[in-house]
A and B are shown apart, each in its own frame.
Chain A
Amino acid sequence: MHLLEPRAQPSQLMRWTAPLIAIAATLLVGSVLFEALGKSPLASFHVFFIEPLTTDYGWSELLIKACPLILIAQGLAIGFKARIYNIGAEGQLIVGALCGGGIGIAYGETGGAWVLPAMVVAGAIGGALWGAIPALLKTRFNAEETLTTLMLTYVATHLLSYLMHGPWRDPEGMNFPQSVMFGDAALFGLLAEGLRINSSLWIVIFAVLAFWLFNARSFLAYRLEVGGQAPAAARYAGFPARQTVWFSLVVSGMTAGLAGVGEVAGPVGQLNLNISPGYGFAAIIVAYLGRLHPLGIVLAGSLMALIYLGGEAAQLSLQMPAAITGIFQGMLLFFLLGADAFIDNRLRRRAR
């Protein structure tokens, strides 16, 4: 049962080819799955991965889905490097959407040009605060951030549900659990006629550049990385562990909150119970698949967006449940982790 033995040196080649191996393995098992369901794998993959990209509309939808994934994963990667595992970005996204969306409901029809910037700021602060709670619980009470961030996601979901069924429900919405549609002042402007891609794209581009600069140039990024790889060395060098926890969770909460505003002030256009199809969870995979590198995350986020788009296309033209997206996501993460095992290890050779 011992398949591996340690390598003398970690393999740099494996570090960068692991994502490709994982994608290939996912496609392989995916084609077995399609075959078992009685669909031709090649035709299915065409529907899944090629067809969505044959139109301008498809590319715009790809960007719409990639934006939140990339944004959230940038924040998460900061924490993952320092081994702070925020797995509740979905909750931080929801709270960000609520904070921004509240302003949108109140002032979207009547307010001026200040409304949208205010929503963006409120969303970022809301997400950051929701991330700050587990940071406080970790630094003050030693509570595991994996479990607390996740539990807070369920709390956020119920908070959203309460507001949608109660105080923030659209009074003329026939009792559907959703808010009014936001007015123009609370919506990102569209970038092209007939497409849904909007000006929140600039925020994401700016964020990618900012995170790239931060990673490449700042001493703080270096400290975070040392803290993750060699906690003892970090302590010896006097890098405070608490600061790492706070920084990781607040920054990743903030990016998730921003993504939440991007959704409600963008393609969704209101608050409802389906703000996010699990972007907060998928972004975890995106961060790892992108090797926790700001530019790698852009590629990984685009691929993940394509899996989402493909899932929707499969639902329409192959009559498959959209849940197939989740199956692909899970497989992709499994295979990535499996391939990553070969960075530090190699296949065991038989003893002579």
Chain B
Amino acid sequence: MLDYLPLILAGTLAAATPLIFAGLGELVAERSGVINLGVEGMMLIGAIAGFAAAAETGHGVAIGLPAGALAGAAAAAVFGFFALSLAANQAACGLALTIFGIGLSAFIGQHYVSYSLPGLQPIAIPLLSDIPLLGPALFKQDWVVYLSLVAFALVAWTLAKTRLGLLLKAVGEAPDAAHAIGYPVIAIRYGAVIFGGAMAGIAGAYLSTVYTPLWVQNMSAGRGWIAVALVVFATWKPTRLMLGAYLFGFVTILQFHAQGLGIEVPVQLLAALPYLATIVVLVLISRDRKLLQLNLPASLGKPFLP
């Protein structure tokens, strides 16, 4: 068990990274009162855009991540037009975005099926990475993993300490009041939704340019949906979201090491674990109705027409 620990820990951090980006993005959107079920689609669009940009320019991840972010943001803007400007049913618009994203990414991805990218070298943090066992696992990662921590810090700080965070909260909790005192509710929601799209795009681009690094049709494999579930599990709090993401990273990684750990379950059944874990976690958090109601952004999912 101890031999596997560093490997499992290191893998957990990498597997959690896309969930962190996508989850933080969705958390911000939901805080503004918009539920976007299109995360899976935005991730796939980001994944193929990032992969294509990296492959075509030869600049790898450095161009792949921004390209993924842009593509995800553009997809989110389309969602915004229907769900915000036209005030259409948010859940159904998200579903449309996911169906569209799966199709579009597969369509573009056709040209990139046989490509592969070099991926990223891990960066060891001096001193910390020398700690026995834990050091190499936690402090010898690629730079995107570190970037996910920066993203967490920025989002958590913005939500808790800044005027922008307050604005988001006002728009999510009481859009009518926010509108009455002159805040542009729809514009702020657009901003939050587009930020969510960019983050989902980064998550997808990480999968296709670093984590795998290949283009495979439907490669996000439900991670976008797990990210949506994580936001509920986190009761819309960034810190708890990180916790959830690492938990899921761990469950995802476990299947690859199960045989070494002496667990004799067929791989296909182990691969179902993250989805079963999502259900368990949702049940555990949802059964506490009071906790959910206290934290749920009051206008979540309700369209706003001034």
Please give the residue numbers on chain A whose beta carbons come within 8 Å of chain B beta carbons, in ascending order: 1-6, 85, 87, 137, 140-144, 146-148, 150-152, 154-155, 158-159, 161-162, 165-166, 281-282, 284-285, 288, 320-321, 323-331, 333-334, 337-338, 340-341, 345
Contact = CB atoms under 8 A, between A and B. Distances in A.
Interface stretch (B50-58, B128-136, B196-204, B221-229): B221-229
Contact of B275 (A143, A151, A330): A151
Contact of B190 (A1, A328, A337): A1
Interface in B229-273: 229, 232, 266, 268-269, 271-272
B100 A330 contact: yes
A92 to B, nearest CB: 15
B4 interface: no
B279 A323 contact: no
A158 B186 contact: no
A162 B98 CA distance: 26
Given A143-B282, A326-B104, A284 B190 contact: no
B160 interface: no
A282 B278 CA distance: 24
B283 A327 contact: no
A1 B81 CA distance: 9
A144 B106 CA distance: 29
Given A1-B190, A142-B286, A147-B225, A284 B95 contact: yes
Contacts of B78: 334
A326 B85 contact: no
Contacts of A144: 232, 282, 286
A267 B41 CA distance: 30
B54 to A, nearest CB: 21
B305 A147 contact: no
Given A85-B91, A143-B286, A337 B96 contact: yes
Contact of A155 (B82, B229, B276, B283): B276
A300 to B, nearest CB: 15
B107 A321 contact: yes
B126 interface: no
Contact of A341 (B86, B106, B107, B186): B86
B275 A154 contact: yes
B289 interface: yes
A326 B82 contact: no
25 contacts: A1-B187, A2-B305, A2-B306, A3-B85, A4-B305, A87-B95, A137-B282, A141-B287, A142-B289, A143-B282, A143-B287, A154-B275, A155-B272, A159-B269, A162-B268, A165-B266, A284-B95, A323-B104, A327-B103, A329-B99, A330-B41, A333-B92, A333-B99, A338-B82, A341-B86
Contacts of A333: 92, 95-96, 99-100
B84 to A, nearest CB: 7
B271 A158 contact: yes
Given A142-B287, A285-B99, A324 B107 contact: yes
Contacts of A281: 99
Interface in B101-122: 101-104, 106-107, 110
B89 interface: yes
Contacts of A166: 266, 268
Nearest to A3: B85
Given A4-B86, A151-B225, 17 more contacts: A1-B184, A4-B85, A142-B286, A142-B289, A143-B283, A143-B287, A146-B37, A147-B282, A152-B279, A154-B222, A155-B272, A323-B104, A329-B103, A330-B101, A334-B93, A334-B100, A341-B88
A106 to B, nearest CB: 21
B97 interface: yes
- Interface of B (DSSP majority class): helix
Contacts of A150: 222, 225
A154 B78 CA distance: 27
A148 B282 contact: yes
Contacts of A327: 100, 103-104, 107
A162 B82 CA distance: 40
B92 A337 contact: yes
B74 interface: no
Contacts of B222: 150-151, 154
A345 B85 CA distance: 12
Nearest to B179: A2
A151 B233 CA distance: 15
B87 interface: yes
A162 B269 contact: yes
Contacts of A158: 268-269, 271-272, 275
B103 A323 contact: yes
Given A330-B103, A333-B95, A333-B96, A3 B86 contact: yes
Given A154-B275, A155-B276, A330 B225 contact: no
B82 A334 contact: yes
A147 B229 contact: yes
Which 10 residue pairs across A and B have the least CB separation, nearest first? Answer: A326-B103, A330-B100, A323-B106, A162-B268, A333-B96, A158-B272, A337-B88, A327-B103, A341-B86, A154-B275
B86 to A, nearest CB: 4
Q: Of A137, A324, A334, which is in contact with the most chain B CB atoms at under 10 Å from its CB?
A: A334
B279 A143 contact: yes
B101 A137 contact: no
A326 B109 CA distance: 13
Contact of A151 (B88, B186, B269, B279): B279
Contacts of A320: 107
Contacts of A337: 82, 86, 88-89, 92-93, 96
A2 B175 CA distance: 14
Given A151-B229, A285-B99, A159 B272 contact: yes
Nearest to B83: A337
A286 B287 CA distance: 33
Nearest to B93: A337
Contacts of B275: 151-152, 154-155, 158
A150 to B, nearest CB: 5
